Amino acid sequence: MESNRLDISIIVPLFNEAESLPELAAWIERVCRAEGLSHEVIFVDDGSTDGSWGVVEGLALADAAGGGVVRGIKFSRNYGKSAALYAGFEAAEGEVVITMDADLQDSPDEIPELRRMVVEEGYDLVSGWKKQRHDPVSKRLPSKFFNATTRLVSGIRLHDMNCGLKAYRRAVVKSIEVYGEMHRYIPILARQAGFTRIGEKVVEHRARRYGSSKYGIERMVKGYLDLVTVSFMARFGRHPMYLFGSLGTLMFVAGFVTAVWLIVEKLVKQARGLPLRIVADQPMFYVAIVTLVLGVMLFLTGFLGELVIRNAADRNKYSKDKTL
């Protein structure tokens, strides 16, 4: 372990939060100094248009003069929170990495306890739980439904999967890739990477004082689509043939058996002199043909997926926790 590594890295993704940044930076500094924690604060400006980057530059200059470490990353346009977190994870140098929102709804006073749970209790990831929320009902109810669905699908028993206030062991953030709207499912991504000690802590949720919420119905739709994606990748990401091949085979067999049954039925009736219909005049014949074609297509989809996986550059890339 490097002796000069920082105790914590605090990553703050932001989009048009210029008013809250000075207060947030000063609050984080007070907490870390009171606890004697060596730290860095990484502000990731996700394409703000309100002068947030100018505030970050000012904070970095003032902090450098005082011996602290405030760093900034600026995107040329708005890429989303997942991209901001990924950039922050890449840049983080602390043993424990803490993420928090820039709107002052997350309290920096939670930092010491979150770090303690990772360092002393051995958690890989600790997620905040905003048990008492200061959000409108239009945001709370969808959030409850979203969390319940995610718990059901993932099996991870967290009350607030999307809470921005989280603490990670360094190895976790260096082993996962966050993209799209996947920041909502970081605990799932962490478990997929082999980090199974996931805890939860009730945290204070403060009322918004500056700016406006970035939450919209389109984010909820994207979130559920990403839940389908992350669930699929967890089960079949390295072996798509297991899903598509199985479904394709079942559909092909069902279509083939149906077609054979229709032909045999016609031959039997014809041999007995019974009234019969032309096979091509029966709706079940076309159902059988469509089922056969879909079965072949699904099987080929799985086969092509396997070819892509087998030829991918990272096909043998695995997360390693320790080596001797």
Please report which confidence band the pLDDT of residue 278 belongs to, taking 50, 70 and 90 as the band edges: confident
- Residues 77 and 45: their CA atoms lie apart, in Å, by 9
Residue-averaged pLDDT of the chain: 86
Could you tell me the strand order of the sheet in which 39-45 lies? 70-74, 39-45, 8-14, 96-99, 166-169, 125-129, 198-202
Q: In the predicted model, is pLDDT for residue 211 greater than 70? A: no
Q: In the predicted model, is pLDDT for residue 151 greater than 90? A: no
Q: In the predicted model, is pLDDT for residue 269 greater than 70? A: yes
- Residue 126: per-residue pLDDT: 97
Q: In the predicted model, is pLDDT for residue 220 greater than 70? A: no
Three-class DSSP category at 254: helix
- Residue 73: per-residue pLDDT: 95
Q: In this structure, what DSSP letter does residue 106 have?
A: B
Q: Which fold has domain 8-236?
A: Spore Coat Polysaccharide Biosynthesis Protein SpsA; Chain A (3.90.550)
Single out the residue of 90, 96, 44 nearest to residue 71, CA to CA.
44
Please report which confidence band the pLDDT of residue 138 belongs to, taking 50, 70 and 90 as the band edges: low
Mean pLDDT of 265-273: 85
- pTM equals 0.75
The domain spans of the chain are: 8-236, 241-310
Please report which confidence band the pLDDT of residue 20 belongs to, taking 50, 70 and 90 as the band edges: very high
3-state secondary structure 172-198: HHCCCCCCCCHHHHHHHHHHHCCCCCE
Q: Which of 62-66, 80-84, 206-210, 307-311 has the highest mean pLDDT?
A: 80-84
The residue with greater pLDDT, 15 or 147, is: 15
Q: 170-186, pLDDT tens digit by residue?
A: 999 999 988 877 888 89
Q: Extract the tokens encoding 284.
A: 């079940």
- Residue 93: per-residue pLDDT: 93
Please report which confidence band the pLDDT of residue 1 belongs to, taking 50, 70 and 90 as the band edges: very low
Q: In the predicted model, is pLDDT for residue 61 greater than 90? A: no
| HSE-up (13 A, CA, CB side) for residue 29 | 16
Please report which confidence band the pLDDT of residue 320 belongs to, taking 50, 70 and 90 as the band edges: low
Return the residue matching tokens 């997942």. Answer: 82
- Residue 96: per-residue pLDDT: 97
Q: 223-268, pLDDT tens digit by residue?
A: 777 777 777 777 777 788 888 999 999 999 999 999 999 989 888 8
Strands 166-169 and 125-129: antiparallel
- Residues 102 and 122: their CA atoms lie apart, in Å, by 27
Q: 74-78, 87-91, 129-133: which range is least confident on average?
A: 129-133
Single-letter amino acid code for the residue at 138: S
Exposure string over 140-157, b if 16+ CB within 10 A, otherwise e: eeebeebbeebeebbebe
